[in-house]
Amino acid sequence: MKNNKPALALVTLSIAALAAAGCGNSMSNSSSGKSDSSPAPSTAPSSSSAAGKKEPVTLTFVISNTVDAAPYNKIFAEYEKKTGNKVELQALPGGDFDNMMKTRFSTGDFPDLFLMQPGTKQNVKLRAEETLKEWSGDSAVWSRIIPSMKEFQTTTTGKIYGVPFGSIGAYGVFYNKDVFAKVGVQPPKNYDDLIESAKKIKAAGITPFYEGVKDSWPPQIFYFTGWVSNVDPAIKDAGVQKLENNQMKLADIPELKDLFMKQKQIKDLGLYQNNVLAGTYDEMQNLMGDGKVAMAFMLDGIIPQLEKKFGKPFVTDKLGFFPFPSNTDAGTALMTPPNQLMIPTKAKHAAEAADLIRFMISPEMVNLYYQTQPGIPIFQNATSDLYPVQKTVKEFIDAGKAKVNVQNRLTPTFADFQKTLQTFFIDGDVDKALKEFSTNYEKDGKAKLLPGFQ
Amino acid sequence: MEKRKYPLYFSFPALAIFLLFFLTPTLIGFYFSFTDWNINADTIRFTGLDNYRELFREPRLKTALTNTLIFAACVTVLQNVCGLGLALILNEALKLRNLLRMVFFMPYVISPLVIGYIFRAIYHPENGVVNHLLQTFGLGFLAHDWLNDPKIALYSVIGTDVWRVAGFSMVVYLAGLQFIPKDLTESSAIDGAGYWSRFRSIIFPLLAPAFTVNVLLSMIGSMKVFEMVYVLTEGGPGYTTEVFFTYIRSMFSTGQFGYATAVNLMLFVLVTVVGVPVLLAMKKREVEM
């Protein structure tokens, strides 16, 4: 064994060195990200200004696969014609989009630009101050966008890290007008009226409501759209601010508990389809299109889906919308701001990506977008040929009877809400579901190290 | 027989790789389980037993623990029963014996993810093969939404995993059967012993080493199940099929790395606590030939 000593020492030394190197890297979450994370200077030479000198580049643009890529592809074709630069579109799975983006950021695999859900909570997720290009002072951009969208994007410290792009969306109750006409019911005047109409629809042999519990996310819509009509009027904006700081518990809001009880009531009255646990978003569209289902608590993403399946005339003539009614009136429509375009400061072609965004929000491209995908515009003087359901939403907005989704107003998320609701559909325990909903919200705030949650 | 001795340093390369790629990360992970390592924090602080205290207060972990143990117990038993049954049948002089051995082993070499996606289609309540077959044979009353009925979803996943891994057990048992001297079974047959007597008195005791390997591997493997549950049910509906690794994954995805590492370490302890006594008990009943 006397000859073993040098070899043993060498191996020990190598292991110690490698372990130390590993520890050194892992002991800090963000040190590498902070050193050179200042936003790209706004005075950086743009690719278009230097187009004559530079070789064309290919930009990578990441979107969720739940987003319709058609309008983007049209805009990018125009962009290529004008600059020679290409845009490679990468669609990531919608359910894992946020996690995949966080992973890409943590491994330094930055796209040149990406489209993400709206709201400043994304800034926390992506550590925006260190990683994303800041747009706060770009007046050329903000002069094109309606002021409320800018206000929505602005953080408490007055910073903006994303440029909104797309349309104002809506959650509410989408219904088949033919079914309503056949049964002789109208959009409801209040919640009791909705339940009475649903009972009449059931008596006529048609399923009043459909819920896609199997797909996890659809049952959440009931609560988000129910919130603006029932919870917001009770707790007001001050209450939402208290939730933001954990000074109020979700479990302590009676109106929220009432929403759980309302969903249980619909289930107990047999107003949902049979075997609600097996319900899917896809089947819901098919049954609603065929007139076998009257209504669904849903988001406006259903409009292009129904158009694909049943054609434009169906969406134009037979699809209706009304907000989730309150106990006393027809309710408030829920608005969702559009997605936001973001650029990592360390993106390979960050300057070209910024130019691309400026190109995308030019009046011609904005109109091209709305021609391809009609929606309620967020750009000044933009024109869009709205569907009747979208006109209905716009009427609510214009009448001041619309409010932004509470999820877009809060930094912590309603973590695992879909799981809570699946369990709720299994056991029907209102108190347990409300407690879990509230606890998970607090856990998310704590995990994000937000003030008030520690 | 004289045993030759080799110098100790022959083992150093393997030892170094083991230390570097297994022991060091394990020890580092052990340390991180006592920290508040979080994707949203700039620093990592030592927090003692905080993660473990929180972990034991989490009802979701209790569900995951229960489901993991049910899954491991069912898969271990069924995998070995099916594997042994197949091995005994395919140890006989059958036509197409080699082809059948390959067919039954094949699922084991396919990725669990791929199998998960295939079985999602097979279990589909309307278009799936299972319900169609039940209806064809007049057993339509047994048709289910196999992956969304909270009472049976876990067992549907168990069934799929048993189908995937039974072939592996079969191969190990087949190898064990080759080591049983033929003269023992043949002479007992001449003495008038029936197949069941031969199995009980000769084959079963002499297969003990294969049992030890199979039971231990299937138990450890099934306690670490992830892909199959994730693809088939994502731990749902609700938390009805939640297992340790789906819980760990969800904690990692929220950026709570320190806490998730603590849960991972709990799984390591659980596997050890269950595995070591089983190994000792099974080694005890092994017989020398």
Nearest to A170 by CA among A387, A326, A321, A388: A321
Contact: A19, B44; criterion CB under 8 Å: no
Partner A, chain B 228-267, Cβ-Cβ below 8 Å? 234-240, 250, 253-256
Q: What are phi and psi of A427, to 5 degrees?
A: -105, -15
A138/A158 Cα distance (integer angstroms): 13
**Which residue of chain A has the CA closest to B37?**
A29
> What pLDDT does residue B289 have?
60
The pair of three-digit structure tokens given for residue A434, joined into one six-digit string: 């409300």
Q: Please answer yes or no on whether A278 and B150 come within 8 Å at the CB atom.
A: no
Interface mutation target, options A214, A273, A437, chain B, most CBs of B under 10 Å: A214
Report, as an integer, the average pLDDT of A307-314.
95
CB contact under 8 A, B42 and A28: yes
Chain B residues within 8 A of A106 when measuring between CB atoms = 39
What integer pLDDT is reported at residue A107 of this predicted model?
86
Looking at the complex, report in whole angstroms how far the Cα of residue A270 sits from the nearest Cα belonging to chain B: 18
SS (H, E, C) chain A: CCCHHHHHHHHHHHHHHHHHHHHHHHCCCCHHHHHCCCCCCCCCCCCCCCCCCCCCCEEEEEEECCCCCHHHHHHHHHHHHHHCCEEEEEEECHHHHHHHHHHHHHCCCCCCEEEECCCCHHHHHHCHHHHECCCCCCHHHHCCECHHHHHHHCCCCCCCCCEEECEEEEEEEEEEHHHHHHHCCCCCCCHHHHHHHHHHHHHCCCEEECCCHHHCCCCHHHHHHHHHHHHHHHHHHHHHHHHHCCCCCHHHCHHHHHHHHHHHHHHHCCCECCCHHHCCHHHHHHHHHCCCEEEEEEECCHHHHHHHHHHHHHHHHCEEEECCCCCCCCCCEEEECCEEEECECCCCCHHHHHHHHHHHCCHHHHHHHHHHCCCEECECCCCCCCCHHHHHHHHHHHCCCEEECHHHHCCCCCCCHHHHHHHHHHHCCHHHHHHHHHHHHHHHHHHCCCCCCC
Match 């690719």 to its residue by tokens. A47
Residue A257 has a CB neighbour count (10 Å cut-off) of 18
Lowest-confidence segment of A338-352, A434-448, B186-200 by average pLDDT: B186-200
Name the residue of chain B whose CA is nearest to A443's CA.
B254
Residue in A17, A22, A39 with CA at minimum distance from that of residue A350: A39
Query: Once rounded to an integer, what is the mean pLDDT over residues A44-61?
Result: 65
A 97-126 near B (Cβ less than 8 A): 99, 102, 106, 124
A23 has a pLDDT exceeding 90: no
The pLDDT value given to residue A38: 36
**Reported confidence tier of residue A18, pLDDT bands at 50, 70, 90:** very low
pLDDT of A160: 94
Q: Mention every residue, 6+ apart, whose C-beta is less than 8 A from residue A431.
A: none
Task: Fill in the amino acid letter for B218.
Answer: S
Predicted local distance difference test score (pLDDT) of residue A97 = 86
Mean pLDDT for the stretch of residues A137-166: 89
Q: Hey, is B125 helix, strand or coil?
A: coil
Residue A53's pLDDT is what? 58
B238 vs A99: CB contact, 8 Å cut-off?
no
Q: What is the pLDDT of residues B105-141, one digit of tens each?
A: 999 999 999 999 999 999 988 889 999 999 999 999 9
Q: What is the pLDDT of residue A34?
A: 36
Q: How far apart are CA A351 and CA B106, in angstroms?
A: 52
Q: Which helix (H) or strand (E) holds B186?
A: helix B182-190
Amino acid at B32: F
Q: Which of B183, B289, B222 is nearest to B69 (CA)?
A: B222
Residue A339's DSSP bridge partners are A165
**Residue A449 contacts B, CB cutoff 8 Å:** yes
Structure confidence by residue, pLDDT tens digits, A316-346: 999 999 999 999 999 999 999 999 999 999 9
Q: How many residues does chain A have?
A: 454
A20 reaches B (C-beta below 8 A): no
Calculate how close chain B gets to A419, using CA atoms only, in Å.
Answer: 4
Q: Are A173 and A296 in contact (CB under 8 A)?
A: yes
B42: nearest CB among A4, A29, A422: A29
Q: Position of tokens 């269950």?
A: B274
Q: In chain A, what residues touch B32 (CB-CB under 8 Å)?
A: 26
**CA–CA dist A120, A100 (Å, integer):** 18
Query: In the structure encoding, which two tokens stand for residue B40, read together?
Result: 């949203």
Q: Taking a C-beta distance cutoff of 8 angstroms, is the pair A436, A419 a contact?
A: no
d(CA A415, CA B24): 34
Which residue bears the tokens 């929180």? B54
The answer to whether A209 and A265 have CB atoms below 8 angstroms apart is: no
**Token couple for A372:** 């391809």
**Dihedral sign of CA atoms A48, A54, A56, A60 in order:** negative
C-alpha distances in Å from residue A131, one per residue of A102, A106, B134: 11, 10, 56
A454/B214: higher pLDDT: B214
pLDDT at A420 over 90: yes
The secondary structure of residue B48, as a DSSP letter, is T
Largest Cα–Cα distance of chain B, in whole Å? 77
Closest alpha carbon within chain A to B149: A277
Mean pLDDT across the stretch A404-425? 93
Pick B19's closest partner by Cβ from A15, A213, A416: A15
3-class SS at B179? coil
The minimum CA-CA distance between B57 and chain A, rounded to whole Å, is: 12
Span A342-365, average pLDDT: 95
pLDDT of A22 strictly over 80: no
Q: Which residue has the tokens 């493997």?
A: B221
- Mapped onto helix, strand or coil, the DSSP state of residue B54 is helix
CA distance B106 to chain A (A): 30
Beta bridge pairs of residue A377: A167
Which pLDDT value is given to residue A306? 95
Q: Is B9 close to A7, i.e. CB distance below 8 A?
A: yes
